[in-house]
Amino acid sequence: MNDAKRFHLAARMAHIEPFEVMEIQTLAREVEAQGRDVIHLEIGEPDFTTPRPIVEAAQRALESKPMFYTSALGLSELREAIAKFYRDRYRVDVPANRIIVTAGSSAALLLAFGVLLDPDDEVLLTDPSYPCNRHFVHTLGGVPRLIPVGPESRYQMNARIARRHWTSKTRIAMVATPSNPTGTMVTPEEIVDLAALAREKGATLLVDEIYHGLTYGLDARTALEAGDDIFVINSFSKYFQMTGWRLGWLVAPPRYVREIEKLAQNLFISPSSVAQHAALACFDPRTIEIVEERRRELDLRRRYLIPALESLGFRVPVVPDGAFYIYADSSPLAEDSFALARRILTEAGVAVTPGKDFGHHEPERHIRIAYTQPVARLEEAVARIGALLGRK
């Protein structure tokens, strides 16, 4: 049999698009291989390394604990520690037995969609939003319904918008607060209304809180205060700067926990043991001090970069309140943000992500800039882009 005949590809793969940011990163590495300096503002992780107390806890655990599989739901001490974090930080009582520790919030998303979606069920997502969401839905045979949102709703979905797009097939409405790529938040009142709508329709609200902790000026409130029928995902990746450790969690309504446990046992066996032991140190006051200091640093970067981008001719119609992204309207400068991102990379040595990654609603008008580098590097990036655009 010839090779072309042997190359069978599942039909679902027709829906899976490349993660554009990874392609930009590959191009950035090529530019670097030519000996040129690239300022990386494309990837969703800051330059901070994992806080010392977490690394030390991992080292101690490796020396003193057997690294066997843990329960598929995660180490009970860690589930208790997360429950305590909800009590201390949010004043919300979330029993540890509703918390499932996962391989990053990516696994939490897969588990949540896995227990909720039947083939052809629809998931309401904002457009723009984090690209993997729609691909998880496709992988499970569901249908992502991308709802175009813009500055008028702070790039977020609210109950009024969701109701307009609701169909008899809608099973989940999902929001991320703060959002990737826009950094904007959903208000607690909007969460209450979305939860009520989902209840009315016999469906589910899923809230991605992975950027909680990285908000500037106001502390986020968890959607868990709006009812115990809401699915919430979170992660150690962003606030605790543990992206590569692959650890997150899911808070599920009580009746789903056993079902999620079965799925997690089969898909993953258990989350990483060493990462879980390390994560126990996340809630140590010394770690909190470090990550809070870094939050202040990110805010400084945000405050520098927004006006600097505007001075270059980008528009930032809604000031982001969290995460570490600015979703800038590049249409005053170029018709095609993808071509602009490539030019900025190859000619100015600054890597940014074109809007294309985040959906189909005016992606050509936007680029996402991650303020994941120190202010001095951001200043250099602005100067280089300015020179390219003939502004400075």
The footprint of ligand PLP (CB under 6 A) covers 44, 104-106, 130, 176, 180, 208, 210, 235, 237, 243, 248
For residue 273, give every residue at least 6 positions away whose Cβ sits within 8 Å of its Cβ, in sequence order, or none: 61, 65, 67, 68, 69, 70, 75
Q: Among the residues of the chain, which ranges form H helices?
A: 3-6, 20-33, 52-64, 76-85, 104-116, 131-139, 159-165, 188-200, 257-268, 273-279, 285-312, 337-348, 375-388
Give the pair of three-digit tokens for residue 332.
Answer: 């005053």
**CA 162, CA 219: separation in Å to the nearest integer?**
25
For residue 94, give every residue at least 6 positions away whose Cβ sits within 8 Å of its Cβ, in sequence order, or none: 82, 83, 86, 87, 224, 251
Give the pair of three-digit tokens for residue 228.
Answer: 């115990």
Q: How far is the CB of 104 from ligand PLP (least distance, A)?
A: 3
Q: How far is the CB of 335 from ligand PLP (least distance, A)?
A: 27
Q: How far is the CB of 129 from ligand PLP (least distance, A)?
A: 8
DSSP 373: S
Q: How far is the CB of 63 from ligand PLP (least distance, A)?
A: 27
Give the pair of three-digit tokens for residue 227.
Answer: 């009812």
Instruction: Decide whether 235 or 337 has the Cβ nearer to ligand PLP.
Output: 235
Instruction: Decide whether 276 or 312 has the Cβ nearer to ligand PLP.
Output: 276
For ligand PLP, which residue has the nearest CB? Answer: 104
Instruction: Decide whether 19 or 283 has the Cβ nearer to ligand PLP.
Output: 19
Q: How far is the CB of 389 from ligand PLP (least distance, A)?
A: 28
Q: How far is the CB of 186 from ligand PLP (least distance, A)?
A: 13
Instruction: Decide whether 176 or 382 has the Cβ nearer to ligand PLP.
Output: 176
Instruction: Decide whether 176 or 288 has the Cβ nearer to ligand PLP.
Output: 176
Instruction: Decide whether 113 or 385 has the Cβ nearer to ligand PLP.
Output: 113
**CA 132, CA 358: separation in Å to the nearest integer?**
9
**CA 281, CA 161: separation in Å to the nearest integer?**
41
